[in-house]
């Protein structure tokens, strides 16, 4: 079945065909390409309908990202300025002291964030760094925030230790399709990513995993990336969708910008495939208009990074985000609601 034929078939189906918001396994790439190929209004109608069945569509979960260890990474991911292979001139740092992380957590919480995501630039987690990271996670959890870390590859035993310290989510993005993955990074494989996600699940942690739009991939690669995520059992609880932020000195610095409406389509398809997951509007918001962000929220994004920076890239300042929320009638999720309500259950009213 071609993508156009699939699109025609999907356009004529309803909730009874498996698009009503229930989880279902076995999404095929051609089927997902059919969703991508729907007329824009039809696609957004479908995704928003599913979004509304599963979530409070006017509520956005706010996360703040803190780099607890920056630069000097041994991986050669083509989009990343923190790689030691590239010439982005980002200075490598040591692990951030506990007191500084706690200060950042309190600042983020005061600004409205309910989740603190902490990233360390390295290939894989080392056992010698575990005690310090466990103290950080425990401290942030003690502030009443959800905790998420991205630390590269890790074993099941390491994941279990992180969970014991209070970790909620582990982030490990698949980035793109398996077929295109070797064009982006060669120091590890796509299977390495899946193995780490398996170790995270085995430890009982929630998964945060998504991808990047605009790295030179085509729509089939975006469909392949979403198929990988949607067919995990269960799918990730959190799915960040990033727009490439070109960083001078990296191999992808000169990639042409993707049509922002393709990002909106990617958000919409992610919402249809993973109705009960948080879909996060992540990197690239600095270059997005308010109108594009509004379309992303309508299409199904219900989480976003909030704060001045995303690791090494700029992010819209908090006052601008607050103004956008006011214009759109959106409100931020609060910690008490987050703890009381399971994923996938909309708030009353």
Q: Of 24, 52, 201, 208, which residue is the catalytic one? A: 208
Q: Of 201, 280, 285, 296, which residue is the catalytic one? A: 280
CA angle (150, 154, 157) in 5-degree steps:
120
- Please list, in sequence order, all residues whose beta carbon lies within 8 angstroms of the beta carbon of residue 195, skipping any fewer than 6 positions away: 153
Residue corresponding to tokens 């309190």 = 106
Q: Of 46, 80, 193, 222, which residue is the catalytic one? A: 80
296 is catalytic: no
73 is catalytic: yes
Give the whole-angstrom CA distance, residue 118 versus residue 128.
18
As a three-state string, the secondary structure of the chain is CCHHHHHHHHHCCCHHHCCCCCCCCCCCHHHHHHHHCCCHHHHHHHHHHHHHHHCCCCEEEEEEEEEEECCCECCCCCCCCCECCCCCCCCCCCCCCHHHHHHHHHHHHHCCCCEEEEEECCCECCHHHHHHHHHHHHHHHHCCCEEEEECCECCHHHHHHHHHCCCCEEECCCECCCCCHHHCCCCCCHHHHHHHHHHHHHCCCEEECCEEECCCCCHHHHHHHHHHHHCCCCCCCEEEEEECCCCCCCCCCCCCCCCHHHHHHHHHHHHHHCCCCEEEECCCHHHCCHHHHHHHHHHCCCEEECCCEECCEECCCHHHHHHHHHHHCCEECCHHHHHHCCCCCCCCC
Q: Of 46, 73, 193, 278, which residue is the catalytic one? A: 73
Q: Of 46, 115, 148, 285, which residue is the catalytic one? A: 148
Q: Of 46, 115, 117, 265, which residue is the catalytic one? A: 117
208 is catalytic: yes
Give the whole-angstrom CA distance, residue 109 versus residue 120.
21
Q: Of 77, 193, 201, 296, which residue is the catalytic one? A: 77
- Parallel, antiparallel or unpaired: strands 59-69 and 115-120: parallel
Which residues are catalytically annotated? 73, 77, 80, 117, 148, 208, 280
């Amino acid at each position: 079945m071609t993508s156009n034929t699939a699109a025609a078939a999907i356009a004529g189906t309803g909730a009874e065909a498996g698009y009503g918001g229930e989880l279902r396994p076995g999404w095929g790439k051609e089927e997902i390409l059919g969703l991508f190929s729907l007329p824009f209004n039809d696609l957004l109608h479908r995704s928003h309908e599913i979004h509304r069945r599963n979530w409070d569509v006017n509520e956005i979960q706010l996360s703040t990202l803190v780099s607890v260890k920056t630069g000097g990474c041994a991986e050669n991911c083509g989009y990343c300025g923190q790689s030691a292979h590239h010439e982005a001139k980002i200075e490598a740092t040591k692990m951030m002291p506990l007191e500084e992380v706690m200060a950042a957590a309190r600042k983020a919480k005061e600004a409205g964030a309910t989740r603190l995501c902490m990233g360390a630039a390295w290939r894989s987690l080392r056992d010698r760094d575990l005690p310090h990271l466990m103290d950080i996670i425990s401290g942030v959890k003690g502030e009443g925030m959800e905790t998420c870390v991205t630390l590269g590859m890790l074993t099941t035993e390491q994941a279990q230790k992180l969970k014991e310290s209070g970790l909620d989510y582990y982030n490990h993005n698949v980035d793109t399709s398996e077929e295109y993955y070797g064009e982006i990074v060669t120091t590890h494989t796509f299977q390495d990513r899946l193995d780490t996600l398996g170790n995270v699940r085995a430890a009982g942690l929630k998964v945060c995993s998504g991808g990047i739009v605009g790295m030179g991939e085509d729509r089939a690669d975006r469909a392949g990336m979403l198929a990988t995520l949607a067919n995990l059992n269960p799918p990730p609880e959190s799915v960040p969708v990033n727009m490439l932020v070109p960083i001078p000195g990296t191999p992808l610095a000169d990639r042409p910008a993707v049509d922002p409406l393709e990002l909106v389509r990617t958000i919409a398809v992610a919402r249809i495939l993973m109705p009960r997951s948080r879909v996060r509007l992540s990197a690239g918001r600095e270059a997005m208009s308010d109108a594009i962000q509004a379309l992303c929220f309508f299409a199904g994004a219900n989480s976003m990074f909030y704060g001045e920076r995303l690791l090494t890239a700029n992010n819209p300042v908090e006052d601008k985000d607050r103004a956008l929320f006011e214009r759109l009638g959106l409100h931020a999720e609060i910690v008490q609601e987050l703890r009381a309500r399971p994923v996938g259950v909309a708030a009353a009213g």
